[in-house]
Chain A
Amino acid sequence: MRLLAACFLFVGAACSPETTQLEPDFTIEASQRVSGSNFLTPETVAQQNDDFENPGYLWVERGADLFEQGEPSCAGCHENGLEGVATHYPAFDTGTQTLINLEGRINLCRTRHQGLTSLPYESDELLSLTAFVAEQSRGLPISVEVTPQTQSAFESGANYFMTRRGQLNLACTQCHDDNWGKQLRGDTISQGHGNGFPAYRFEWEDFGSLHRRLHDCDTGVRAAPMELGSQTYIDLEFYLAVRASGLELESPGIRR
């Protein structure tokens, strides 16, 4: 059923190649879309919103220090900060002709403009810089659209979301489109938006990227997870960002 819906969506997209902006259809209507923080206890929401109590700010603060380092430093170019920038990622990079996420953009800046090496995915440094940039868009609506250049990435991400996988034979959509709001053991199933990431997860007792979360989802349904930073996960991140557009960016979020 969902797979069919996804296919129609692609056909619809392919029918109008002249438009630069495509309007995908999602199972959850825009008016029904809610952040993962709606499924947290009031105590946890309060902790997320308090920029001292929120442990994610340990990484934001380190990111602020790293932003000043290098020759030139990040701050040397981005002297007016990067407010709003994170709301538009993942985005198409014309230089490499690929879809990249915020982590990828930071690494491209390092190799292209700073004469530095790429930071390993999920390293504390990359997480900290990503958190520092994302935090500057805290409270702003996610705004990611499908364009002809990113259409195939969107389709690939949608396909991943709709495909059953793992020993539990579950697709993302079965929980996060069809059954959100219902109880699963002690949890309430969320809509599966990535607007809190990078985020501090209690279960990790640590700060991590959306890809680490996706890796855990795949592992949770007993499927072979993808590499963090892989194009498959970037495409899925893109699909999720289009799907979450309009929701406020909450990074550094706190999640269960």
Chain B
Amino acid sequence: MTTIRLSVPQTADRGEIIELRAMIQHEMESGFRFGSRGEMIPQDIITKFECFYNGTLFFSSDFHPGVAANPILKFYARANESGSFEFVWTDQDGQSWSDSAQIEVS
């Protein structure tokens, strides 16, 4: 069970620069920690984040073990048309999670 939280304004003026925020529940196991028996805990991280505006990839990020657990990102977009923002996270094994939010641009 993975919870995703998004913050996208519901409405914007055409051309307005809007703030987007996204958070996903993930431990981002760095691969540099030791368990209680001294064993190395294997790395288990999200490696890629992508954000699509009406299907066009306009912002992405590569995550490394230096990204904190339950990663959060705040970034911006120029609101040019109504539609949807889709947020996609993919882990090191190719598993992915996504969620989207609608915006009305006038």
- Bound together, the chains give a CA A61 to CA B21 distance in angstroms of 16
Among candidates B5, B28, B68, residue contacting A57 with C-beta atoms closer than 8 Å? B5
Contacts of B28 in A (CB 8 A): 205
Contact of B25 with A by CB under 8 A: yes
Among candidates A52, A61, A205, residue contacting B70 with C-beta atoms closer than 8 Å? A205
Which of A52, A57, A62: most chain B CB closer than 10 A?
A: A52
Contacts of B10 in A (CB 8 A): none
Q: Tell me the residues in window 53-102 of chain A with beta carbons closer than 8 Å to chain B beta carbons.
A: 53, 55, 57-59, 61-62
Chain B, residues 87-100, CB within 8 Å of chain A (1/0): the string is 00000000000000
- Bound together, the chains give a CA A205 to CA B23 distance in angstroms of 14
Chain B, residues 24-38, CB within 8 Å of chain A (1/0): the string is 010110000000000
- The count of A-to-B residue pairs whose CB atoms sit within 8 angstroms is 28
Chain A, residues 20-60, CB within 8 Å of chain B (1/0): the string is 00000000000000000000000000000000110101110
- Whether A52 touches B23, Cβ cut-off 8 Å, given contacts A205-B68, A205-B69, A205-B70, is yes
For chain A, the bracket of interface size reads: 10 to 19
- Whether A52 touches B69, Cβ cut-off 8 Å, given contacts A58-B23, A58-B25, is no
Contact of A18 with B by CB under 8 A: no
- Bound together, the chains give a CA A59 to CA B23 distance in angstroms of 12
- Whether A58 touches B68, Cβ cut-off 8 Å, given contacts A52-B21, A52-B23, is no
Chain B, residues 1-24, CB within 8 Å of chain A (1/0): the string is 101010100000000000001010
Using CB atoms and an 8 Å cutoff, list the residues of chain B in contact with chain A: 1, 3, 5, 7, 21, 23, 25, 27-28, 68-70, 72
